Structure 1
């Protein structure tokens, strides 16, 4: 049993290897693109809409509501990024019920790449909201002595995102393999059902934590330049 899809080499040529992680990641992305195109190709603004459009609207509304509950003042601003994270991880994990498929989220390289996306998104969203100076000030609050600790905290939470998702997906794969060797007919069915639930939960946790980090970095403090400009405009 291959614990990680990185160990499953599908094609090798002159030292170049194409492993299952890359192939299944491409497959998930292609499936999401095709699904998005099929659902959005015939959107209707009238009273009669398709079931697929209803499902799409429910998913988008639910994700937007969850972003708003985190404390973001403009959920639509973060919806494309957070929604893509959630849907990619959820789709990759749910497809685990397909025979021969291994979730790319069971590879540390995939989860590390997703965590790096969050690491880059946090300052980008924060800088566009409160400016470069306002973002850099978060590293020296409440005092400049906290600078190294805040830098370490930023890096450690990125590592925690990657390791948490990787560990949960990989542990599920190992447990299924053990149960298959014990009872090859009964336990795998139960574990596949449990895997669907845990896969959705892990996608939800990853997306929510990413949104928490972005919202905390983008939150404008009362003494920030953005608030000062707003107060001056009101005074004028």
Structure 2
């Protein structure tokens, strides 16, 4: 049993290794790029839409709606990054039910790279929306003594993003393989359905956490506290 697709080596020449993580990452990237090109090459603005365009518009509208609800800001700023994250992780996780497919999200190197993208995106969105002085000033609040703790918080939440997705996908694959080995005639359909559901949930959780981190960086410390106080007051009134 392979815990991670990093251990499956397809080609090696010296220090250059082509493992399952790279191969299936390239495959997912190709599928997403090819699918996007096929759907968007003949876009229509009328009422007679193709099935592919109709499905794509539904997905984009759902993502935009979720972005608007979470951030209370213009979703267009976050759609390319968060949408790409969600679709990539979702495709990797859902294809895990295909025999012979090793999801790249079962590799710590992939989840670490995705978390690193979020780590870079947080200050990027924060600085572009508020300016670098206002954004970096939040690290000194409520007192300058909190600077090392705020920096540590940024690092630990990035690490937790990577480990959470990797741990859930890796453990899910191991549990499914163990159960299927014990009772291969009874549980394949159930375990595949459960794995598909967990894959969708993990894609949503990773994307929504990344969105929360980015949205909080795009809003000032005082705005966040005002929103929290308003939410608390509304909860008390209800």
- 1:189 Cα deviation from its structure 2 partner: 1.9
Shift in Å, 1:222? 5.9
Aligned length: 223
Match of 1:180 in 2: 180
The aligned residue for residue 23 of structure 2 is 23
Post-superposition Cα deviations, 1:98-139, rounded to whole Å, max 9, x if no partner, equal 111110000000000000000000000010000000110110
The separation in 1 between residues aligned to 2:185 and 2:108, in whole angstroms, is 30
How far apart are the structure 1 equivalents of 2:92 and 2:113?
Answer: 14
The structural deviation recorded for 1:74 is: 1.2
Taking the aligned partners of 2:139 and 2:125, their CA distance within structure 1 comes to: 16
- SS of the residue 2:78 aligns to: helix
- 1:73 correspondence with 2:38: no
Distance in 2 (alpha carbons) for counterparts of 1:221 and 1:200: 32
Q: Which residue of 1 aligns with 2:45?
A: 45
Counterpart of 1:56 in structure 2 is 56
Name the CA distance, whole Å, in 2 between partners of 1:184 and 1:214.
44
Matched residue SS, 2:131 = helix
Aligned to 1:171: 171
CA distance in 1, matches of 2:146, 2:217: 16
* 1:12-34: CA deviation from partner (whole Å, max 9, x where unpaired): 12342110000000000000000
Residues 222 and 17 (structure 1), Cα distance of their counterparts in 2 relative to 1, 3 Å cut: closer
Unaligned runs of 5+ in 1: 224-236
1:7 corresponds to: 7
Q: Structure 2: any 5+ residue segments left out of the alignment?
A: 224-238
Provide the C-alpha distance between the structure 2 equivalents of 1:212 and 1:14, rounded to a whole number of angstroms: 42
State the shift of 1:42 in Å. 1.1
Residue 176 of structure 1, CA deviation:
1.1
What corresponds to 2:229 in structure 1? none
- RMSD between aligned alpha carbons? 1.2
1:137 matched to which residue of 2?
Answer: 137
The match for 1:95 is 95
SS in 2 for 1:17: strand
Q: How far apart in 2 are the matches of 1:67 and 1:198?
A: 21
CA positional deviation for 1:186: 2.0
SS at match of 2:99: coil
The CA distance in 2 between the partners of 1:157 and 1:15, in whole Å, is 32
TM-score by length of 1: 0.92
Distance change >3 Å, CA 173–CA 222, structure 1 → 2: closer
SS of residue matched to 1:46: coil
Structure 1 segments (4+ residues) deviating >3 Å: 220-223
Which position in structure 2 is the counterpart of 1:228? none
